[in-house]
Each structure stands twice: as C-alpha cells, then as structure tokens.
C-alpha cells in the first residue's frame, strides 16, 4: 500500500513539474515575441545606405566612385560585384550571436533564455568571435566564397565555441560567462556593462586552452585606466606558455593578442569631439569593433557611414541550436539586415577591441593608433586612451605619495540606488 501511495505522490509531483516547465516555456515564448516586436524584428525592415559615400567595416572600405558605372549596370555585368554587394557579403560573413530561448537552465536559476538581459554578453561574444575569424580564417574571409574543408571546419568550430550549452565544447557560452560572473557578484539575469564583459572574456580566454588546445594561440590584454602598456603586452605575448606564432626574427614565439580598452567618452552623453577618432579607429585592419550601444541596449559596432554606426544587434530572440550534431545549421548565426545608429545616441561607456597576430602587427597597431589619438590631443582634448612604453607596475605611486592630493580628476559612478559601482565600471573621466 505504501508503495502505491508513493507512486501516486511521485506521479502528482512529476505532473506538477511538467506543468511548471510548460508554463515557463509559454512565458519564454511570450517574452521573446514581445522582445522581437519591441526591437523591430517582427517585421522586416530595410536600412538605407548611400551609394555616394564610403562605408567602413572593420578596416575595409566600400565606396562607389564617381567614375564607376551605375550600380544597376554593374549588377548586370556577369561576375562583377558592386561595392554595395561586396559590403553586404562582408557584413553577412560576420558571426551574429543573439538572444536564444529554451537552452539548458543557467546554473543557480530557472532561466532558459537570456532574452531581456544578456545583450551585452552577446555583444562581447561577437567581438571575440570576430577575433577568432581574423586569427583562424583571416579578415578577408567571406562565407560567399568557395570554402576549403579546413575553412568549413574552422567556421563551425568558432560558432560551436559560443554554443548555448553548459559544455566544455563551448568555453564562451552564456552559461560559462554567467558562471564566471558569479565570482564578481553577478547572477543569471543581471545586466552587464561593457567593462565587466571585457574582464569576463579575459577570464574565459585564460582557461579556454584547457577545453580546446587551439585556443592556446590567443590571449587577452585589458588596458587598465585607459592605458595600453606596451611592455605589458609584449611580456604577455612572449612570456605566455600559449605563444604560437614565430615573430619576424624567428627566435621568439609570440601569442596573438586581443587588446580590449574599456573607456568612457563623456558624462551622460557621448562627447562629440571623439566621433572623428572613433571613425578613424574603424578604418584600422586591427580593429575588431566596439561593444557598447545605447543605455541598457547593447550593440556590437563594426563600422560606420557618414554620421551613423553600422552594428550587429543581438536583440532578436531565436530558438537554441543543438550543436551535438556535426552538421548543425549555421544560417541563424549570420545576419542579412545591417542596421545603423547615430553616433550621438551612442552610450559613452564602451569597450574598444583590437587584434594583433604578430609582434609586427602590434607595432603597426601602436604606430597607427597613436597617430589617430594624437589628432585628438591637437584639438586640445583628452585622448580616448593612451600608450605607455613601460609596464603598469612602473607607474604605481610609492606608498609615501599615495595619500597626496591627486592631480587627475577622478569620477566615481553610482547606480540608480546611489551605491558606488564596482571598480571594473569606473573610468577616468574624459
């Protein structure tokens, strides 16, 4: 009799659990439908691009020159691509990571979607994915071109590294990033800022070779206090056990590096003096974009045309993709709809990313970027960030001087409840 009672009880408990799961699924679907309507994904919309002005996309320029035949005539020529068509192909080839629904529960919560809160994590994932594209496939890689077996394998592998599953096959999944966020006092469902995401990406990259040896070829450097310390980068890339690429002298190994620079470019709004500098950074081959957006609305910026930023928007909520199958579909990881946003709407808090494959790349990056930043200095304003020849520890104040008045203006940011934000969200006020 007792077993019969327990059986009935277990059956009732399972039924209640099933009902709860079903209710959660319905709730998730309603949330995703509302989200997709809110952010303009429910109805297909078209962003207008001018044929007369250049479009810059991560170091590549697409421009219809005055002496070129009209776009309609070029399109009719067999085998000839117009600048606009080449731009669209390049844009489509970037990896697009968006909200997903009905993935395995995030640890410590009942959440099975990141819809409504995970947009900054997705923007960070996209920037990291772009660095992997540059490293393993090259900046010129285009998904429209005929693919070698190796290119197909790398493309799928990069996407799988970001799969929405708590698996060692996906060391940069939302599940993994959220678990690393717990160490910084964050929990599933919390919103992240661009600086905190930069530190999460570094933590994830530091441990990633334990999951996939391929990832030992790259490392992440975060510029402290808006300063890229050149010797720190060199020490990281040469002293790392991960070093893989032999530099031009052939005597030392060099670990390819992703350089992340968290900055704040104004007070409540973007200071317009930095717009020309932002545009110039997008013309560099080393640039892998900017994670930022509008307040509480993250976007991944990858280029510009005139006074508008070209971006990949993570706010479309899609079904999770099962990556346990070798030939999982990849179409939903590429976007056919480029979007633009005015520079003046950009939140001043952002993280700028760069990728340097070799030591020579790093030296070129420093040279070209310092020239861009110097143009801001000439205008009489603070640069977005700076370079220093030495190491960060060489610039620390002696203990005897640490209590003296600071000659720099420091700003402490507070959240909506008046509490000081964490150190990772503090910036030198520019």
Strands (E), 98-202: 100-101
Q: Provide long-range contacts, Cβ within 8 A and 24+ apart, for 361-364.
A: 361/286, 362/233, 362/234, 362/237, 362/257, 364/286
The two beta strands, 339-342 and 287-294, are unpaired
Asked whether 156 and 330 are in contact (CB, 8 A), the reply is: yes
d(CA 324, CA 163): 10
Residues annotated as part of the active site = 119, 313, 315
Assess contact for 211 and 172: CB atoms under 8 A.
no
Structure tokens at 14: 């399972």
String of DSSP letters for 351-369: EEEEEE-SHHHHHHHHHHH
Orientation angle between helical segments 149-161 and 119-132, nearest 10 degrees: 150
Q: If 0-12 CB within 10 Å is exposed, 13-18 middle and 19+ buried, where does residue 147 land?
A: middle
| 3-class secondary-structure state, position 415 | coil
Helical packing angle, 275-282 and 359-378, nearest 10°: 160
Joined together, the tokens standing for residue 261 give 């620079």
């Amino acid at each position: 009799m007792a077993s019969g009672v327990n059986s009935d009880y277990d059956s009732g408990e399972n039924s209640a659990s099933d009902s709860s799961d079903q209710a959660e699924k319905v709730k998730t679907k309603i949330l995703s439908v509302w989200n997709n309507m809110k952010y303009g994904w429910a109805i297909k919309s078209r962003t207008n691009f001018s044929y007369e002005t250049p479009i810059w996309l991560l170091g590549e320029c697409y421009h219809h020159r005055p002496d070129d035949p009209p776009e309609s005539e070029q399109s009719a020529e067999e085998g000839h691509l117009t600048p606009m068509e080449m731009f669209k192909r390049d844009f489509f080839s970037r990896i697009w990571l968006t909200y997903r629904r009905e993935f395995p529960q995030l640890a410590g919560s009942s959440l099975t979607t990141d819809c409504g809160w995970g947009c900054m994590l997705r923007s960070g994932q996209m920037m990291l994915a772009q660095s992997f594209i540059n490293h393993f496939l090259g900046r010129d890689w285009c998904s429209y071109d005929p693919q070698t077996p190796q290119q197909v394998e790398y493309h799928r592998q990069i996407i799988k590294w970001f799969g929405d599953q708590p698996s060692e096959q996906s060391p940069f999944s939302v599940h993994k990033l959220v678990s690393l966020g717990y160490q910084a006092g964050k929990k599933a469902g919390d919103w992240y800022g661009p600086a905190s995401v930069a530190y999460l990406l570094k933590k994830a990259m530091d441990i990633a070779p334990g999951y996939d040896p391929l990832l030992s070829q790259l490392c992440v450097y975060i510029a402290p206090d808006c300063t890229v310390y050149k010797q720190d980068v060199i020490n990281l890339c040469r002293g790392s056990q991960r070093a893989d690429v032999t530099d031009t002298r052939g005597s030392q190994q060099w670990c390819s590096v992703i350089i992340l620079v968290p900055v704040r470019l104004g007070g409540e709004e973007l200071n317009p003096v930095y717009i020309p500098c932002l545009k110039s950074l997008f013309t560099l081959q080393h640039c892998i974009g900017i994670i930022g957006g509008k307040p509480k609305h993250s976007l991944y910026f990858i280029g510009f045309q005139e006074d508008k930023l070209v971006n990949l928007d993570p706010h479309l909520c899609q079904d999770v993709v099962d990556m346990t199958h070798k030939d999982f579909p990849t179409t939903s990881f590429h976007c056919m709809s480029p979007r633009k946003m005015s520079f003046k709407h950009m939140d001043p808090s952002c993280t700028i990313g760069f990728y340097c494959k070799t030591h020579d790349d790093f030296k070129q990056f420093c040279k070209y970027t310092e020239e861009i930043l110097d143009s801001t200095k000439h205008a009489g304003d603070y640069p977005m960030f700076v370079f220093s020849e030495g190491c960060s520890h060489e610039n620390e104040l002696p203990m005897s001087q640490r209590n003296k008045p600071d000659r720099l203006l420091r700003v402490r940011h507070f959240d909506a409840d008046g509490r000081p934000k964490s150190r990772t969200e503090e910036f030198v006020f520019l």
